Amino acid sequence: MDAISLDLRLRVLRDCERDERRREATAETFGVSRSFVQKLLRRSGWGDPIAPRPHAGGPAAALDGAALDELRALVKGRPDATLAELSAALRAGGGPAVSVATVCRALQALDLPVKKSRCTRASGTRRGCGRCGAGGGGGQGRRTRRGSCSSTRAGLTRP
């Protein structure tokens, strides 16, 4: 979400000072929230600048440059490793203990392939491992009850 421009902030302040209207009316006129008008008036009354503040930057990244290089080397050495295995390998190699989601985001940032689990299909034409039922199978096809039909058209029955 973008910060509200300095021009709009100045117009809101001028409107509040000029008309002595209620804050709700000013907020509705300019399409901002009542709390924004209150905070803006408080900042201007205290002598603080009313310009939008810069973004604080958020939390520091869990994986720094060295850990990202290590992750890139791990994927190059074992391209079929799962996210959980990569996370464990990073931790075992002296890197930070990070979650599977953090490893996934790091791989996406590095433009490296993401493998979610052992049973995820590699492509739409290959079958999964068959142990967990993911990816179509391993011989365990879907079965319909005798006398039922898998068609979606009404009136069709199976002999």
Please state the domain extents for the chain. 6-46, 65-109
The residue that leads in pLDDT, 133 or 96, is: 96
Question: Which residue, among 107, 63, 110, has the nearest Cα to 81 in the 3D structure?
Answer: 107
The reported pLDDT for the residue numbered 32 is 92
Q: In terms of C-beta density within 10 A (0-12 exposed, 13-18 middle, 19 or more buried), how is residue 32 classed?
A: middle
d(CA 126, CA 23): 63
Helix ranges (H only) for the chain are 6-19, 23-30, 34-46, 65-77, 83-92, 100-109
Place of tokens 């990244």: 61
pTM for this model (two decimals): 0.45
DSSP string, 69-105: HHHHHHHHH-TT--HHHHHHHHHHTT-----HHHHHH
What pLDDT score does 113 carry? 76
User: Higher-confidence residue: 39 or 114?
Assistant: 39
Q: Per-residue pLDDT averaged across 65-71, rounded?
A: 91
What's phi and psi for 91, nearest 5 deg?
Answer: -65, -40
Distance (Å, whole) CA 106 – CA 103: 5
**pLDDT, greater one: 74 or 122:** 74
User: Please, are residues 76 and 112 in contact by the beta-carbon 8 Å criterion?
Assistant: no
Give yes or no for a contact between 117 and 111, defined as CB atoms under 8 angstroms apart.
no
132-151: pLDDT as tens digits: 555 544 445 555 555 555 55
- Its sign, for the CA torsion 13, 19, 25, 28, is negative
Residue 89's pLDDT band, with cuts at 50, 70 and 90, is very high
The whole-chain average pLDDT of the chain stands at 78
